[in-house]
Amino acid sequence: MAQQSAAQIKAAYARALEHQKAERFGEALTIYHRICKARPDLAEPLYQISKIHVELGRAKDAIAPSKRAAEIKPGEVAIWLEWARVVALGGGPAAEKEFLAALKQAPIASATRIKLQDRFGALRKASRPQTGGVAKGIAAKLVKLIAERRNAEAEAQSVAVLRKHPGSALVYNILGTARVGLGKLEAAESDYLRSIALDDAYAEAHENLARLYIQQGREKDATRKLRDAITFAPGLIPALINLAMGVIRFGNAEEALPLLERVILEGNDPVQAYNTMGNAYTKLKKFPEAESSFRKSLEIDRDPPAETYALLAQAQARSGKDSEAMVNFDKALVMDENCFIATNGKAILLETLGDFDGARELFRRGFELDPNNGEGYRQYVSANKTQPGDPIIGKMKERFHSGEPSNIDRAHMGFAIAKALEDTKDYADVFDYLSQANDLVHAEGGFSVQSRFKEVEKTQKALAGFDWKGWNTDGASDYAPIFVTGMPRSGTTLIEQIISSHSTVTGAGEVGEGSKAAQNLLIRDLSLRNIDTIPREEILQLGYDYQDMMQARFPDAGIVTDKSIQTYMYIGLMKLALPRAKFVVVRRDPRDNLLSMFKNMFPAGTHLYAYNQTDLANYYTTYVDMIDFWRKEVPDWFYEVQYEKLVSDPEVETRKLIAACGLEWEDACLNFHENKRKVETLSVFQVRQPISKGSVKAWQRYEKELAPMLDVLRKAGHVSD
């Protein structure tokens, strides 16, 4: 790329813009980064990289490219506007200070400089909208009518004022709010858009329009308008809170953290900020941090609601503090017996501990408390075998078709209905609900199969050809975890349950921190570095950091299993850092494996490829390709388990598995279903049962409906019939 001509770079930039316009952000970023390497003096690709990071909810990552673009082109106003935006969305006090210091020296118009300074100063919490000549007293009267919910009067008087002052952004915003109160949502949207057209920097108008979009279920539009509101008023508390809650719902909890930190720094509404921060950390599986956030909320809230204790209990349960969690769930239910979060949360905890009867009663109570909460139905049905005639099926269908639940709740219900119909052998309608549920999740987007292919290609390129066996293990951690990895729903939970039934082993579940750390070790400046260039000390530290993390979570454990799905991407690197570690890769007939994934809903923001049959099959190709890569590089560094062989001949295959893990044989490993350890995956019910062949060749029942997936698998050579 460095040798390419200006014309070639211009053409590449144009291609990247096309990808960006079509929201193929991975492809666009790849091209922009290549341009940056070839021409580090160009500001334009850095500017576009910043914009993409914001769209992906990674405003914090956009700060560095925006800053560099301003250094290259200090006189370009658009770049300063972008830098200001990303600091508002993802920066803290230090980022603001750095931006304002640079802004003072910027060779741009003083009026523009003052406007940007005011965003982080006089106008950080509220705008000064264009009034169009409307007197303060008149505007105050209109605002009072809104506050008193006299929306019809506010509408009529606002319309009258606008006849005389058609350029008032302030009054159009008031009119929109009055019409929202009257249920005139289409007209209200037009009013807010008119207000913004008159004064684009009117943060409150952007925020009110976002609220309207939330009310209409237009989450993506709402997110964009909330980002606009915060861009112009970085301390606008309602916008910060609403955006944080929205991105958490979308599965991008990382974006919420700097927003909530700003709310706390501004000194407003810290209780809600700490509660929302706790939810964000819970989504990120940072449960100690979540517990800390909820505790801070309880410390400063003079009259905390039952929900806060329930949320604290959820975090404690996920941290393994089951007894403390149960106390707080019960405390919440004493305070408010109708608290849905406590009811459903305690049900889930009982379920993970194997008390299905106790959980069943609480789940059904939850259906009464919140009949449109689809996740509650899905969690219940996934851990129970529905019997013919169970009224829960009709109840779910009624809710699904009522139009009342949100799209995400309907998706949860669709998966639950499909599972219940399959349980009762009513197969005819299973795929009708299953397809609708998957389509609802898939419509939210976020996955690019081309980006996935490139990710695997780049990872292999960074790791290929290394002298793995020649690595000097002196000084490396002697921690010896057993990693269980493979595609979701391939049998990884079953394998971990078998291994953790050994008297010397503790099952940690899906921790995920090791694979994330390995990935982060490879990434520098948004690109992958070759393993040959990584300092030995950093690789050794990867192992010690993992050891410290796991021992902090499981201080009394000897050998620990870690069922982290993505570990297969970094087997070689993890083995360098932890030479005594064992790796078990689980394989399953892809037709059954992918069908099982298509029948299940995963935590928000994870496995986004699983909701489209073609994406699923293509993703499976990348999985096989990665396992084949490691088989070529380090064939004896991992042990492969074939699910079908295991269920066909349990004792023989289980003995092989236990031996491969370096463990002495114990009969308890065959009686894994009697293991009372806590299980927190979609397989919570299955692993409490003896091995069954019931799910083998289950795909044949839906061969016609699975045609898109099967066609891709056949063409890729994964199946032959």
How far CA 419 is from CA of 383, 416, 545, 636, in Å, comes to 10, 5, 41, 39
Name which of 260, 259, 282, 256 is nearest 271 in CA terms: 260
Sign of the CA dihedral running 548, 554, 558, 564: negative
Residues 6 or more apart in contact with residue 344 via CB below 8 angstroms: 362, 363, 366, 373, 375, 376, 379
pLDDT at res. 251: 74
pTM for this model (two decimals): 0.72
The torsion angles phi and psi of 582, rounded to 5 degrees, stand at -115, 150
pLDDT at res. 525: 64
Q: What is the pLDDT of residues 445-470, one digit of tens each?
A: 778 898 899 999 999 999 999 999 99
pLDDT at res. 135: 96
DSSP classification of residue 50: H
Domains of the chain: 6-119 (1.25.40.10), 136-242 (1.25.40.10), 253-442 (1.25.40.10), 449-715 (3.40.50.300)
How far CA 542 is from CA of 320, 458, 580, in Å, comes to 24, 21, 14
Rounded-to-integer distance, Cα 86 and Cα 260, Å: 15
pLDDT < 50: residue spans in the chain: 1-2, 677-678, 682-685, 687-688
Q: What is the pLDDT of residues 519-538, one digit of tens each?
A: 999 987 667 899 999 999 99
DSSP classification of residue 640: E
By the 8 A CB rule, do 680 and 352 touch? yes
Residues 6 or more apart in contact with residue 143 via CB below 8 angstroms: 174
